[in-house]
């Protein structure tokens, strides 16, 4: 085995990276930046659905005044804010050179990706039929959000990383 192959084998095993665990540690540090995209999609869908709920009138009042719609918007807002805070923490850790001891990168990507899917799905519900047609941006955000649970590690993989971190602590 030549030196290149030795280094490649060590990098794959995480041996040469010390605490970092090679390529997986790199992904852990880049995942929050994917999560930022997911939050952008979720926030756009939340803002659009909120504005629609203010303007669309049903039964004589804006639909946002109906409890079921108001509850959906509230849940969407909480999910977006929780995701945003997890991502901020992970990016702060990366920017300050601190280690991701609790799989914060995976946590942020998992939460933000799934939030984007859930929030865009709820936005489609709030808009009704309009949420599904191409004349409104929500249908595109809905389609775009799904990649956030696949790209740079599926949600299932993120859960595996998080669980392994918890169990090995």
Report the alpha-carbon distance of residue 25 to residue 141 in Å, rounded.
Answer: 29
6 is known as an active-site residue: no
Catalytic position from the list 55, 139, 152, 168: 152
Quote the distance between the C-alpha of residue 131 and its chain's center: 21
Report the alpha-carbon distance of residue 22 to residue 61 in Å, rounded.
Answer: 57
Do 126 and 73 touch, CB atoms closer than 8 A?
yes
Alpha helices in the chain (DSSP H): 3-13, 22-55, 67-95, 104-127, 138-147, 155-168
3-state secondary structure of 137: coil
44 to 59, 125, 140: CA distances (angstroms) = 27, 15, 11
Which neighbouring-strand residues pair with 58? 61
**Nearest Cα residue to 107 out of 120, 119, 93:** 93
Q: Where in the sequence numbering do the catalytic residues fall?
A: 152
């Amino acid at each position: 085995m030549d030196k290149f192959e030795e280094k490649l084998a060590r990098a794959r095993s995480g041996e040469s990276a010390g605490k970092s665990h090679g390529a997986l540690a790199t992904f852990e540090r880049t995942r929050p930046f994917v999560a930022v995209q997911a939050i952008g999609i979720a926030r756009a869908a939340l803002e659009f659905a909120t504005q629609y709920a203010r303007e669309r009138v049903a039964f004589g009042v804006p639909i946002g005044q109906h409890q079921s719609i108001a509850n959906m918007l509230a849940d969407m807002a909480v999910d977006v804010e929780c995701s945003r805070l997890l991502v901020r923490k992970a990016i702060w850790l990366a920017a300050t050179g601190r280690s991701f001891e609790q799989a914060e990168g995976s946590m942020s990507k998992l939460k933000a990706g799934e939030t984007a899917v859930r929030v865009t799905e709820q936005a489609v519900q709030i808009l009704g039929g309009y949420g599904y047609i191409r004349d409104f941006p929500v249908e595109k955000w809905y389609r775009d959000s799904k990649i956030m649970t696949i790209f740079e590690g599926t949600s299932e993989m993120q859960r595996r990383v998080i669980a392994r971190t918890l169990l090995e602590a």
